[in-house]
Amino acid sequence: MSEVGQVIAIGGGGFGRNPNHNKIEKYILGQSNKANPNIVFIPTASAEDKSYIVNFYSCFSKLECRPSHINFFQRTPRLNSIINQADIIYVGGGNTKSMLAVWREWNLDRLLAKAYQNGKILCGVSAGAICWFEQGITDSWASNLNTMDCLGFLGGMACPHYQEEKDRRPTVHKMLKQGECMPGYAIDGGAAIHFKNGDYHASIQFYPESRVYHVSLVDGNINEEKMEMTIL
């Protein structure tokens, strides 16, 4: 049976905040077996924010890769051709619910599932991190944090910005105790979690003190396991 691809889920930070801070971006490129991999940016969740796209090219054009991006709110190219040619697919942050709705309308969710089955590297930050999991903790609604069903390439729950936004940690704990969310991974900004062939591989730290946690409910109590970090 052939292996599926890789997923690198980033809790926050990276080129969107500072295109000159490229530790996690270099790590992502280093997972490809290509000398100059094709990396495709999908900024749907940000409504294709122009400055975000500029930051993507500012960062990756200086690294050993061939960057490109996909638009849905202008004339949309043939997606199957772009995804087939991609070695790495990077999904940006923003509104997860709206992003997935657009993807499903264009059948991109199916193309990404096929890409994963074909061994490609899927990665992203915030909305682009949680989308690969069975369930995500999202601020897509203005009123409060919610759970939502995602693509399900990886089992369990994922929550980004765990230490960056004060409501995240207590909300995840409350949801677990009330049975509203699955056990899973909470990812700080400046940290990432890496899966290979559907299995946990490593937790990555690219900002000081940032961490990844596995959070679950054990005998009615919150169990927050600190993952061993690989420091870039």
For CA atoms 36, 37, 43, 44, the dihedral sign is positive
Q: Is the pTM of this model over 0.85?
A: yes
pLDDT tier at 140 (50, 70, 90 boundaries)?
A: confident
Distances (CA, A) of 206 to 133, 140, 169: 22, 26, 20
Range in 67-71, 77-81, 94-98 with the lowest mean pLDDT: 77-81
pLDDT tier at 17 (50, 70, 90 boundaries)?
A: confident
Mind listing the pLDDT tens digit for each residue in 150-199? 999 999 999 999 998 889 999 999 999 999 999 999 999 999 999 999 99
Residue 126 appears among annotated catalytic residues: yes
- Separation CA 108–CA 104 (nearest Å): 6
Query: What pLDDT sits at residue 18?
Result: 84
- Separation CA 73–CA 123 (nearest Å): 22
Residue 214 appears among annotated catalytic residues: no
HSE-up of residue 125 (Cα within 13 Å, Cβ side):
22
- Separation CA 56–CA 73 (nearest Å): 18
Question: Which of 32, 46, 126, 203 is an active site residue?
Answer: 126
Phi, psi of 159 (to 5 degrees): -130, 120
Name the residue ranges covered by the structural domains of the chain: 6-231
User: Regarding the domain delimited by 6-231, which CATH topology (the fold level of the hierarchy) does it fall under?
Assistant: Rossmann fold (3.40.50)
Question: Which of 46, 161, 194, 203 is an active site residue?
Answer: 161
CB-CB contact of 175 with 216 (8 Å): no
